[in-house]
Structures are given as structure tokens and as C-alpha cells.
Amino acid sequence: MIGGAVVEALQKFVPRENIRLQEPMAGHTTFRIGGPADCFVELENEEQLKKLRRYLQMTGVSFFVLGNGSNLLVSDSGYKGIVLQIGPKMSSVTVEGNRIVAQAGATLVQVARTAMEHGLSGLEFASGIPGTVGGGVVMNAGAYGGEMRQVVTQVNVVSRDGELMELDNETMEFGYRTSVIRESSFIVTEVTFRLEPGDRDVIKAKMEELSAGRREKQPLEYPSAGSTFKRPEGHFAGQLIMEAGFRGFQIGGARVSEKHCGFVVNAGNATARDVQEVIARIQLRVEEQFGVKLEPEIIFLG
């Protein structure tokens, strides 16, 4: 539990109106699931983050950095610590020639659309990914053959000591749904993309094509956290799940999508426990039948 002394200290770094206690996390994830966070803080700028990060390092208070909550399942009991949101208040996007500089709270949809409007190609794959730039870089988000590592040239981060650092593409150590930041204490504040000049209409048409494909193949009508599992080498998770007989399988409000078995969706009032039980059943049977271990792509918090 976050005490009054911690809240008082937080007010030295961010305005009181940006600090909320016992904030329901269901309102901050695309799964629409999750109990209350002890403390929820909306950050407005890099300076606030630097000061707050130094304080958290000194005190050892538990914290979690949140973007759009698009790849997150929060426990029904919530989170016993501070959630730092880098979201709408840190979401500026600027264009400099063939480069786009975006704050970590900007959405990938927002940045891809900005690129299109300026006739810059390379981010079409990201036009339907619901996460933020910060989360996208941490996870090396990708779709339809594109990944963040193909277009990112620089990532600005704040270290555990509250210092600003610049990481280039090589230093980021991008891998499949991972980067050096996944296992570090860095917090992303800004990302620079290098894109290629292109025809605005062609770029727009490609984005519309990918969007139509998503609507056709993905259960966008239900809350979810996107693909539930990472793609196992040599296989497709959705196909294995379907062949194991899980199409439409449901526990409580958590259901394996009939449209795409790689998605576990919130079909109505699902709890985190419902989702976790569905995931556990799938993992057990898929390994028993096919000898394949499915690794969740979703981050569990709680």
C-alpha cells in the first residue's frame, strides 16, 4: 500500500491532479480487465520522469511503466505499487525531412498516420497496432512482415538514476518481441524513426488494405490484448490452438476467438483469472499434443 508520505513526495514532482489512488486498471488496458493500482501517476514531460525515477530508485518503491495497456493483463487484485503512465500528455509527433520524432506516449497509429500524411513510407505495418511508441519499441512490435527495428534509429531513455541517455538501433538489441529495454531499468521517452519518401496515396492504400485484413481476420469487436502467444518457431500459435480443439473455448468471460484462435478475448466481464486459466489449459494441451511450448506475448502485472 502506498502511504501518505509517498503521495506527498510525488507531489513534488507532478501536479496533484495527475496522481490518483486506488485507480481501477480495467480502464487503462485494452483487455478491460484489472483491479486497482495503489497509485496511478500521469506524466507530462521528461523532467518529471527524471526526477521521479531518481526518487523511486532511492526509495525502492515498486512501479510499472504503462503506455496504452494494449499488451497487458492486470491481476484482479490490482497492483501494489505505482503505475507511471506515459500516454496522451507525452504524445507529440514532429516531422523533420524523412525523420519522425515521437514522444513515447504517442500511439503507433498516430505516428503511422503522420508518416502517411507527409508521404513517408515504412510504418504502414504499424497503422493498426494499438500500442504506444514506447511500448512498441520495448517489445519490437511488428505485423505483416514489418518491425520497429527496421525503422527506428534512436531511442531516448531515462536511466534508473534519472539520467537521459540515447540508444542507437544496434544498442537496442532488437529481437522477436523484445529489446535490450525488456531486461533493463530504462524508460523510453522519445523515439526517432527514419523512413523513405513515398507516394501518399499508395501509402494510404496500403494502410487501408492492412486495416481491412485486420477487421476480417481479427476479433476487433471484443476487448483483448492482441495476439495472446508469441509465434513458436516453425508453427503458428493460432493454428495449433485450433487443431487442439480450443476454437470458442471459454472459461467465465474469457474466450478463445472463433475468428482467430490466437486471440483470447474478453467476451463479457472476464476476470484476469479467467484469462490465465484459458491460457494454462491451452499451453498444457498444445504441449501434450504437439510438443510445442506456447509462450505468452501478454505481460502479466500483479
Residues with Cβ within 8 Å of 77's Cβ and at least 6 positions away in sequence, in order, are: 35, 302
Strand pairing of 63-66 and 79-85? Answer: parallel
Count of alpha carbons within 13 angstroms of residue 39, beta-carbon side: 24
Contacts of range 123-128, beta carbons closer than 8 Å, 24 or more positions apart: 123/151, 123/193, 123/195, 124/203, 124/206, 124/207, 124/210, 125/210, 127/207, 127/210, 127/211, 128/210, 128/211, 128/214
Grid coordinates representing 249 are 473455448
Q: Is 273 one of the annotated active-site residues of the chain?
A: no
Widest CA span of the chain, in angstroms?
A: 56
Q: Which of 177, 179, 255, 257 is catalytic?
A: 177
Strand partners, 152: 193
Active site residue 194: no
Give residue 250's Cα distance to chain centre.
25
Catalytic residue (choose from 121, 179, 227, 257): 227
C-alpha 97/C-alpha 110 separation (Å) is: 18
Pairing type for strands 146-147 and 72-74 reads: unpaired
Task: For residue 227, indicate whether it is catalytic.
Answer: yes
CA separation for the pair 90, 93 (Å, rounded): 10
> Which among 85, 81, 68 has a CA at the least distance from the CA of 36?
81
Cite the active site residues. Answer: 177, 227, 297
